[in-house]
Every structure is written in C-alpha cells, then in structure tokens.
Amino acid sequence: MEQRRLGRTDIEVSALCLGTMTFGEQNSEAEGHAQMDYALEKGINFFDAAELYPIPPKKETQGRTERIIGSWFKTTGNRDKVVMATKVVGRTDMDWFRENGEKGQLTRAQIEFAVDRSLKNLQTDYIDLYQIHWPDRNVSGFGSNPTRWVDVDQAEEENSIQSTLEVLGDLVKSGKVRHIGVSNESAWGTMRYVTASELYDVPRVVSIQNAYSLVNRTFETGLAEVARREDVGLLAYSALAQGYLTGKYRDGALPAGARKTLFNRLQRYEHPRTIEAVNAYLDLAKDAGLDPAQMALAFAMSRSFVTSVILGATRMEQLETDIAAADLTLSSDVLEKIDALHQEFGNPAP
C-alpha cells in the first residue's frame, strides 16, 4: 500500500483510508472490527470517523461509530498503528450533539465538548487529525464547492475561521489533537485557514476532505491548485458516488441492505444526466476489462492533489474489491476516455 505525506507533517498515511460511517447502523460492532482488522492487514493505516456518525444522522445512534472503533483499539491494542481522523460538526439545526440541546456551531465550548467526547468514545488520549466537518458560516451548497452560486444570508453570531483556529490551536498545545483539517470547504475558506496560520499563532490545516468522483470533479476547478501549492491534500470521499459507480444500482436495482434501499438518501445521483454519465463510466470499465469500483477508486488515487481516498463498505467482499484498487494503475488510454466522458457530461452530481 502506497504511503503519502499528510500535509507538511511527518505523518505518512495510506493512499486508501478506511471510512467507518456505516459502523453502528449498517454494520455491527463485530463487522466493524473485522473490517478494521482486514484493512490494517492490507496496509491501510488511516481510519476516518466523525462525531456525527453513523449515517444517517440520528440522536439514537450518534457516536456509535467512534465507540466501535474505540472498543477495537482497546481489544487489539492497535491504537499506535493507526492514524485516526475524526470530525466536529459545523453549524447545524440538529440539536442532539450537545448535552444541553444546543444547535451545533463552532464555539469554543462546543468544540471542546466534542473533542473530549470523541476521545472518550475512541478510548484514546489523542486524535491524529481533527477536522471541521463543514463550515460554521452559511454556504451556497453543502460541500462548499457548487457549480451554481446561490446567495445566502450570513449566519447570526457566525464564528470566524480565526476564532475556530484559536480553539483548535489550544487543543494541539494540550496534546489532545496532533493536526487539524477541514471538510466540505471551499477554495476561499481553505485559503482563509492557510492565511490565518501564517498571520497568527494557530496551527496550519494539513488536509481537506471533500467529495470527489468521476461524476463530481468540481474540486479541480479551484481547490486542486490550493491543495498542490499549499500542501493541503484532498481526502476524497464518495469516490464511488455512494455506490452508483459500482454498478449495483444500475437500471433501478435496489440490492438488499444497500444505503439507497434502506434510507433513500441518494437523490443527487438520480438526475437523468447523472444516470447517463454513471452508465457511460460503467460501460467504459466493462470495455476496458476493469471492475468499475476499482476503476473509480484508481482514478481518484491517481490525482496529484489527492492524499488519500476514503472507502467504505458494508460487506467484506466489497472491502476486498475496493482495497485491491491500490494495485491498479489506469492506462493512458483509459484516462483519456475518462476525460472525454467528463468533457461530455461535466459534473452532474456536485
């Protein structure tokens, strides 16, 4: 498994990262433990979680994912073998993340509460990478990298990026957090984080976790240059377009236990043009003799601005297929055909 440098740190992380957001909902504790065992065996040393998880977010399940990882750390003693990343929620109307029922936002008190609870859940005394799950400010669209701009009002009592960094800086100084990152962030927001670290005594962001896939390459528009020049590498999520690029939902299929079957949450991939694009990429993989999931993951890993590609699976056979993508190098012919399809379809699922 290829190892890549995390930002400007001395930490090396695997080119594939184990996503865990199904642990505690679609996957049991035993299944989560089995996935972590297998991922570590195959050279993955990078796990990603969030205080929000599992998905879909619910008061009744919040925190289960971290607790499953924590029980694995305790049982196996493998904490020192893993670069552990987790996240604090940004501004949200969801009111079950804090004990007092307060709606989520990035105040000092909320961040400090969140990190302490994550440490307890994970049964560790430090988090390697602590990420802002999404901005405190109101943005034009979730993911902060829209293809169409929509004006939004400024949030009341908006917490500034500088104030957020000051809190995170104190967490780094305390030893609870080693490094920090952002997620679902824009080019403007990322550069504000970087600039603040140059002007003030606050830590530098080392990564950005945004959606990136064959049907959503919006990261390339403005953020790729930021990632390259500022060493804020992409931790790409949804590289399989939440399963669509595996082909399992083709022609209206609804496999038992799949996320769409259970939760019907994948509408961003159900526009007519998106389905056409997905089918074109699936056909390309078939014509090239490639597994479509492996082609999609290998493409994401091949991008120079990507530090690691986050993958998630509910069944072990899916995980085995996905991790095997680490050994796949796409030919120049396949890459040219991918770019030709992108020229035709653009970003139909931003």
Could you give the residue numbers annotated as active site?
A: 53
- Residue in 78, 81, 75 with CA at minimum distance from that of residue 46: 81
| CA 344 vs CA 125, 332, 337, 349: distances in Å | 49, 18, 11, 14
Q: Two tokens at 52?
A: 């929000």
Burial 99-129 (b: 16+ CB within 10 A, else e): eeeeebbbbeebbbbbbebbbebbbbeebbb
Strand partners, 85: 48, 129
| 346 closest CA partner among 209, 148, 142 | 148
Contact (Cβ atoms closer than 8 angstroms) between residue 30 and residue 44 = no
E-strand spans in 251-305? none
- Report helix, strand or coil for 113: helix
Q: 51 is written with which tokens? A: 């205080």
Burial of 315 (0-12, 13-18, 19+ CB in 10 A): middle
Of 105, 88, 115, 103, residue with least CA distance to 181? 88
- How far is the C-alpha of 290 from the C-alpha of 67, rounded, in Å? 37
CB 209 within 8 A of CB 181: yes
- Answer yes or no: are the C-beta atoms of 190 and 223 closer than 8 Å: yes
